[in-house]
């Protein structure tokens, strides 16, 4: 079994372009499945979920190869959190469809259980990553780019350490911009290999001195300690607590939404407003700790480029509230219908609009639950 898995990993790594082409073709063919499985939605959803999981596994294998080639970009976490979260997201739609067909309104128990598992995995990732912002719900590792490695030595969870300076690299360069470690390291490497071949019972005194010099001259390996919650709270104070709380709200919001739907029903405004309120509060905390000028400079949170993109992505997800019940039935559906009636007489545009509206309504009806996480 292990040998077969290793052979598959090797094949994927050697043929990654071919694998991506196969995945794109397979995903395109899934659009034809509903016609063939018209009696049940379980068939197409099962195929889609399996393809999604296989795609996630292949991407994880390819990303692992990149991490091995570039150790600086490796994900320090041993457990594949991103792969696990991707698999759960692919399975949750299948869980909803199966539970809908066999259990009716009790499907929310199964959806809540799925969301609870996702919350546990994401909280574990949030903690083990040093309380960094989750990118794409944890599917994308939040690691520093190579160009930021120097600055990352003075960062905790995406913001600089107080008192951190960036002059260390200059100490390793001479006036001509060259690195003196290179020549010394070459010479010591040659002498070390010669000394190893000449050594018999014990090392000569001169070789011991060279080894000591090599140990002294070798640049120290930077070990970045993973921040803990107490470290963040002690260095960032209230802002640190608000940042952590904002991320926890983002992680737990889908579960809160499902639990209140389970309690009050999909047509109730309580889950809708509560979920929207949790989103606004979490974003308010994040906006305060990254943009507020009312606190000391060392307590600011400086987001990386990928984290800024993640904030924009989360704001775009608010558009899903237009597709969630009961807002969709009360307002969105009526607007779509009026737009369709207005553009229906226009050649081509009317046909395309009708197909688009049908697709949107079908997707909303088919997936009554949209977590948006």
Confidence of residue 165 (pLDDT cuts 50, 70, 90): very low
Identify the helix (H) or strand (E) that includes residue 123: helix 107-128
**Structure tokens given for 336:** 């779509």
Distances in whole angstroms, Cα of residue 262 to Cα of each of 38, 336, 372: 29, 28, 17
pTM of this structure: 0.70
CA within 13 Å, CB half, 306? 16
Q: Taking a C-beta distance cutoff of 8 angstroms, is the pair 66, 56 a contact?
A: no
pLDDT for position 17: 80
Name the residue ranges covered by the structural domains of the chain.
1-69+77-103, 130-143+227-323, 325-372
Q: Taking 50 as the threshold, does the pLDDT of residue 241 lie above it?
A: yes
Question: What is the residue-wise DSSP string for 168-190?
Answer: GGGGG--TTS--HHHHHHHHHHH
- Which position has the token pair 């989750």? 134
pLDDT for position 70: 52
Confidence of residue 217 (pLDDT cuts 50, 70, 90): low
Long-range contacts of 330-338 (CB under 8 A, 24+ apart): 333/361, 336/360, 336/361
Q: Taking 80 as the threshold, does the pLDDT of residue 369 lie above it?
A: no
């Amino acid at each position: 079994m292990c040998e077969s898995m290793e052979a598959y990993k090797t094949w994927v790594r050697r043929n990654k372009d071919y694998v991506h082409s196969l995945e794109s073709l397979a995903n395109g063919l899934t659009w034809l499945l509903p016609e063939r499985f018209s009696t049940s939605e379980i068939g197409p959803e099962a195929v889609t979920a399996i393809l999604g999981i296989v795609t996630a596994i292949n991407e994880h294998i390819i990303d692992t190869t990149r991490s091995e080639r570039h150790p600086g970009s490796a994900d320090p976490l041993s457990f594949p959190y991103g792969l696990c979260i991707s698999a759960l997201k692919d399975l949750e739609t299948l869980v909803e469809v199966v539970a809908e067909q066999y259990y009716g309104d009790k499907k929310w128990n199964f959806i809540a259980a799925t969301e609870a598992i996702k919350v546990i995995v994401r909280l574990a990732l949030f903690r083990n990553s040093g309380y960094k912002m989750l990118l794409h719900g944890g599917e994308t590792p939040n690691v520093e780019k190579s160009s930021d490695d120097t600055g990352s030595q003075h960062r905790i969870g995406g913001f600089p350490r107080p008192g951190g300076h960036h002059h260390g690299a200059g100490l390793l360069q001479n006036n001509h911009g060259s690195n003196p470690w290179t020549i010394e390291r070459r010479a010591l490497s040659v002498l070390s290999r010669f000394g190893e071949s000449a050594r018999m019972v014990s090392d000569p005194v001169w070789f011991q001195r060279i080894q000591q010099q090599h140990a002294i001259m070798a640049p120290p390996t930077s070990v970045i300690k993973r921040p803990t919650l107490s470290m963040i709270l002690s260095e960032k104070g209230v802002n640190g607590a608000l940042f952590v709380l904002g991320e926890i709200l983002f992680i737990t919001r889908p579960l809160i939404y499902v639990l209140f739907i389970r309690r009050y029903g999909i047509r109730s405004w309580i889950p809708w407003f509560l979920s929207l309120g949790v989103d606004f509060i979490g974003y308010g905390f994040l906006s305060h700790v990254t943009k507020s000028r009312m606190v000391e400079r060392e307590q600011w949170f400086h987001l990386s480029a990928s984290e800024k993109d993640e904030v924009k992505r989360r704001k775009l997800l608010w558009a899903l509230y237009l597709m969630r019940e009961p807002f969709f039935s009360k307002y969105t559906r009526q607007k779509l219908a009026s737009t369709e009636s207005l553009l229906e007489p226009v050649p081509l545009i009317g046909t395309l609009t009708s197909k688009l509206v049908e697709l949107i309504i079908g997707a909303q009806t088919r997936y009554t639950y949209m977590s948006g996480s």
